[in-house]
Structure 1
Amino acid sequence: METAKKGFFNKFLNGVERVGNKLPDPFILFVYMALGVIILSWIFSLFNAQVTHPGTGETLTIKNLASGEGLRYIVTSMIENFTGFAPLGIVLAMMLGIGLTEKVGMLDYAIRKTIMKSPPWLLTYSVAFVGVMGNLASDAAMLLIPPLAAMVFYKVGRHPLAGLAVGYASSGAGFTANLLIVGTDALLAGISTEAAKIIDESIVVTPADNWYFNIVSVFVITFLAGFITSKFIEPRLGKYSGEAVEVDVEEDPPNAGKGFRNSMIAALIFLVLVYLSVGFSWSPLRSEEGKVIPSPFLTGIVPILLFLFLTVGVTYGVTVGKIKSGKDIAAYMAEAMKDMSSYIVLIFAISQFIAYFNWSNIGIWVAVNGAEFLESVNFTGIGLIIGYIIFTACMNFLITSGSAKWALEAPIFVPMFMQLGYHPAFTQAAYRIADSSTNIVTPLMPYMVVVLTFMQKYDKKAGIGTLISLMLPYSISFLVAWIILILLFFYAGIPFGPGITPYL
């Protein structure tokens, strides 16, 4: 029976890998999607398809992108579609600050010291917490934390693969959880805003709109990852009996400790200034009515975070000697922007696809008719949201890029769920927990092969199946726990972010 199960599981994984590998690169995928919208607009126009705008009552006809008018729009709007795409500027601005902090070594130092200095009884949960918070460094967390955790577990006499497992699971799930507002929040919020404009031009999803949910998620996922590791993963692995492994510990700059201390002091001073600018009724970043929700503070949260990370990164860099002049600051920021080159290329294709979807009126047609269908079958409650979460979790096996998948789904589901009364930020939260839960079990995740290489350092016979079997308990538990958490927020009326409830 075990052989049959193993055979079926392997066949399933092989099938997922085959289908996924046949999908084009995300950039080419969105080029095809844009071409698909052009063809669909032509077909819809043949039948004179129309839809009534729910907000204005105006009757809208599907516009043909393959017509002369459509060609003029494609040619004249291409640059504006790209440069005016909301996520582009927001994410690049965030990464100027976060990237500088990463390039001077401050994030790396904080991650390593937090894990390596944890007491043995707290080590598992420290790794989980650092893994979840590691998305400050974006994808780099999935490459830095698992091998570091395996090394620390090995040095204290625990099974290194248990450390690697909790490091990989928590950093993979961390893209929906953080105590701070990070680049992922800015990226997804920008795409959500563009999608929401199909129904209502005035709606803006800010990077802070899932913040409260993210904060609670940090502690839920940290506890769950630590508990699963201690109660299931380590007992299953048993005592490590592999060959002795030589582990190297990277040396820190001489003043790294002082640099970290100074950067934390600078961050504290900066946060005090932010509090003064928003904490009182007379504060300049409050609204004219003296409110925080809405206010210039929430609207300008990205520039505020940019300056926070610049303050921390420059302070650390100057103290450890990596920044000696303004030229060094610019060089590190430019280096961080190089890492964003693939994202910029992808955004060019995504922006055209969404613009065509909106201009042709296909987006609002799908939203209105999709919502009417769901209402006709009486499938509009929280069960619909749970169904959407499970659908996206399965989609993650084929498209692993979180931003690409949201850019594909948002123009369809955000307007549709808005028609049913759901806030775009609520739909975005549902998307994020689905995407993060199954990141770690799809064979198409590009970092899985790298993590497998780290695993084989301690177990020569380990394969993709070994890694996925370790990740499945985390993945299933995270998905179930997050669904319970979103239900708790939903029914208890807890805001997902400042002023954000499930309903519009």
Structure 2
Amino acid sequence: MEHGSTTPMDPPNTWVTRALDKVEKIGNKLPDPAIIFFFCLIIIWGLSAIFSNFTFSSIDPRTGEAVVVNNLLTGDSLADFLSRMVTIFTGFAPLGVVLVAMLGVGVAEHSGFISAGLKRMLDVTPQKVLTPMIILIAIVSHTATDAGYVLVIPLAGVIFHAMGRHPLAGIAAAFAGVSGGFCANFIPSAIDPLLQSFTQSAAQIIDPDIQINPLNNWFFNSASTLLIVSIGWYITDKIIEPRLKHVELDGDEFKASGTDSDGTEQAKQAANQFKELSDKESRALRFATLTMVAGIVALIAVLYPETSPMRAPDGQLTSFAAPVMQSIVPLIFLLFLLPGVVYGFMSGTFKTSKDMIDTMTKAMQGMSYYIVMAFFCALFIDAFGKSNLGALLAIEGAQVLKALALPSMVTIVGIIFLTAFVNLFVGSSSAKWALLGPIFVPMLMQLNISPDLTQAAYRLGDSSSNIITPLMPYFPLVVVYCQRYVKSTGIGTLLSMMLPYSVTILLLWTVFLLAYWALGIPLGIQASYVYPAG
């Protein structure tokens, strides 16, 4: 098979292309992401001082009291901010997730284990199905919480590059699957019982005896997987990659591969060279792969008994209370570290233990820019939460929607679009549902719409705009991944790549839900469309 044989044609000069070019041009004129987060922090401080002088009648469902905006510019607030600055940064959840996972992945990458595995994979992966396979893997990665951001997205760039395709197209496709299709998955994950718990609490405001199944959206989420893969496949191959055809690769990752940007022939040659493994490397790959498989088998053996210490007290594996769900990142660290070490020593990449430590150092050097951005991002997110401005935005928006008293289907569409909008400012899925659920669920129950359908609409809106908000904690990380190949990548570049995915997913997924509803296909286990259930 000749890799790179399906290089996209030149992009047509359509209004879509011109619009995306304009988005990229304007977006790249924005300051560095770290500076944007700093400016946002200053703005939040100012807005908190202004709005703290107003009294709001909206009730915060978390406290049962009226929403109060906290002034962050008082002496006490600023003193508290300074005293907590270090712990705000070190306690920033995405930072620990990324760095710990990258320590293990870094060993596997720099030892040559990952590239060797990819070489083998390229021999058996048809070029035509590469894009949908990447998106499908990205969607499935939700099961392992944030693993997709630190593992699948960068690997997608490597795989596309090795196949003679533009690496940024691979990163965009994986990002669309991991984040844009966040609530599409045929494998249950920890997010299911987490959201269900908020939905049930909200529903019990109206019906104290109601019980919601944690898998009440499973059938819809599974069917949505096919939709997201199809959308991502078309947009990647027909819109995004043609736009990237003339974007030259000049990043460190590209230079390390020894290719140049004169044309596709060099990419093809690089891909062919990428396939070749020596006998020594092949043997090292076999033993390293066996090591990874042995680790997975050992993990399954530990998880299988009903009395396993890795299960929750009630015996569940997917509950947030289960130690295994809280250990996903350390498990990723180990499952890449161990085979990476085996491959490194057997292939000759590692001579001493210091060589192994050096690979971890290289991995952290590559994350230095993200660490700087994470510092300012953590300060902004903490201030936004402390100010209560996010809660005010969500609750006021929900109250406006409620006051409109629209027909059921229009209301569901309104919930989807309001959630997508709020998601641009409040990233956490569970935090938004804690605010919106107690308003949406009882309101729609009074319109005879079930909590199951309301939750499905929320999850759809929550997913679709993840990939176009720079305020999402992992957005700057994806910019860093792109800069490995194209140094000039900025916020505008990533926004212009992801905007077609976001808009198309939002619109088509909404239509899909309405059609799914109209056909009466079950949403999930013990789920219904109407309340009370017939």
340, 365, 371: which is aligned to 2:392? 365
Shift of 1:332: 1.0
Tell me, yes or no, if the aligned pair for 1:367 and 1:416 is still in contact at 8 Å.
Answer: yes
2:523 aligned with 1:493, yes or no? yes
Shift of 1:269: 1.3
- In structure 2, do the counterparts of structure 1 residues 306 and 317 end up closer, same or farther at CA, with 3 Å as the change threshold? same
- In structure 2, do the counterparts of structure 1 residues 73 and 229 end up closer, same or farther at CA, with 3 Å as the change threshold? closer
**C-alpha distance in structure 2 between counterparts of 1:35 and 1:375, whole Å:** 32
- What is the aligned partner in structure 1 of residue 309 from structure 2? 284
- What is the aligned partner in structure 2 of residue 245 from structure 1? 265
Identity in percent = 28
Q: Partner of 1:266: helix, strand, or coil?
A: helix
423, 431, 436: which is aligned to 1:417? 436
Q: Partner of 2:164: helix, strand, or coil?
A: helix
Q: Partner of 1:255: helix, strand, or coil?
A: helix
- What is the aligned partner in structure 2 of residue 332 from structure 1? 359
- In structure 2, do the counterparts of structure 1 residues 424 and 28 end up closer, same or farther at CA, with 3 Å as the change threshold? farther
- In structure 2, do the counterparts of structure 1 residues 381 and 101 end up closer, same or farther at CA, with 3 Å as the change threshold? farther
TM-score normalized by the length of structure 2: 0.62
Please identify, of 422-431 and 309-318, the stretch whose mean Cα deviation from structure 2 is larger: 422-431
**C-alpha distance in structure 2 between counterparts of 1:178 and 1:259, whole Å:** 36
Shift of 1:39: 0.6
**C-alpha distance in structure 2 between counterparts of 1:446 and 1:53, whole Å:** 37
2:298 aligned with 1:273, yes or no? yes
- In structure 2, do the counterparts of structure 1 residues 227 and 343 end up closer, same or farther at CA, with 3 Å as the change threshold? closer
- What is the aligned partner in structure 1 of residue 22 from structure 2? 15
Q: Where in structure 2 are there 5+ consecutive unaligned residues?
A: 1-11, 139-147, 183-188, 203-216, 242-261, 442-450, 471-477, 488-495, 526-534
115, 123, 130: which is aligned to 2:127? 123
- In structure 2, do the counterparts of structure 1 residues 116 and 291 end up closer, same or farther at CA, with 3 Å as the change threshold? closer
Q: Where in structure 1 are there 5+ consecutive unaligned residues?
A: 152-162, 180-185, 201-209, 235-241, 396-404, 454-467, 496-504
Please identify, of 78-87 and 255-264, the stretch whose mean Cα deviation from structure 2 is larger: 255-264
Q: Which amino acid aligns with 1:335?
A: K
- In structure 2, do the counterparts of structure 1 residues 353 and 108 end up closer, same or farther at CA, with 3 Å as the change threshold? same
Shift of 1:255: 2.2
Tell me, yes or no, if the aligned pair for 1:169 and 1:225 is still in contact at 8 Å.
Answer: no
Please identify, of 26-35 and 89-98, the stretch whose mean Cα deviation from structure 2 is larger: 89-98
**C-alpha distance in structure 2 between counterparts of 1:312 and 1:358, whole Å:** 41
Tell me, yes or no, if the aligned pair for 1:131 and 1:168 is still in contact at 8 Å.
Answer: no
- In structure 2, do the counterparts of structure 1 residues 232 and 85 end up closer, same or farther at CA, with 3 Å as the change threshold? closer
- What is the aligned partner in structure 2 of residue 387 from structure 1? 417
- What is the aligned partner in structure 2 of residue 94 from structure 1? 101
Question: C-alpha deviations, 1:224-274, integer Å up to 9, x for none?
Answer: 77789999999xxxxxxx999352424545422222222221122111211
Please identify, of 278-287 and 52-61, the stretch whose mean Cα deviation from structure 2 is larger: 52-61
Tell me, yes or no, if the aligned pair for 1:366 and 1:416 is still in contact at 8 Å.
Answer: no
For residues 72-221 of structure 1, what are the structure 2 equivalents within 5 Å? 72-118=79-125, 122-126=126-130, 128-130=132-134, 133=137, 137=151, 140-141=154-155, 143-150=157-164, 170-171=173-174, 173-176=176-179
**C-alpha distance in structure 1 between counterparts of 2:80 and 2:236, whole Å:** 55
**C-alpha distance in structure 1 between counterparts of 2:72 and 2:236, whole Å:** 53
Q: Which amino acid aligns with 2:64?
A: G
Please identify, of 428-437 and 56-65, the stretch whose mean Cα deviation from structure 2 is larger: 428-437
321, 329, 332: which is aligned to 1:305? 332
Tell me, yes or no, if the aligned pair for 2:390 and 2:425 is still in contact at 8 Å.
Answer: no
Question: C-alpha deviations, 1:394-440, integer Å up to 9, x for none?
Answer: x9xxxxxxxxx67668799555434435999996775545455999x
**C-alpha distance in structure 1 between counterparts of 2:172 and 2:314, whole Å:** 45
**C-alpha distance in structure 2 between counterparts of 1:168 and 1:67, whole Å:** 43
Shift of 1:280: 1.8
Greater length-normalized contact order (CA 8 Å, ≥ 6 residues apart): 2
- What is the aligned partner in structure 2 of residue 377 from structure 1? 404
Please identify, of 28-37 and 290-299, the stretch whose mean Cα deviation from structure 2 is larger: 290-299
TM-score normalized by the length of structure 1: 0.65
Q: Partner of 1:335: helix, strand, or coil?
A: helix
**C-alpha distance in structure 1 between counterparts of 2:394 and 2:331, whole Å:** 35
Question: C-alpha deviations, 1:101-154, integer Å up to 9, x for none?
Answer: 222222222223322444xxx431146425764866555446433343237xxx
Tell me, yes or no, if the aligned pair for 1:350 and 1:407 is still in contact at 8 Å.
Answer: no
Q: Partner of 2:28: helix, strand, or coil?
A: helix
**C-alpha distance in structure 1 between counterparts of 2:230 and 2:18, whole Å:** 33
- In structure 2, do the counterparts of structure 1 residues 73 and 149 end up closer, same or farther at CA, with 3 Å as the change threshold? same
- In structure 2, do the counterparts of structure 1 residues 62 and 211 end up closer, same or farther at CA, with 3 Å as the change threshold? same
Q: Which amino acid aligns with 1:75?
A: L
**C-alpha distance in structure 2 between counterparts of 1:449 and 1:263, whole Å:** 30
Shift of 1:359: 1.8
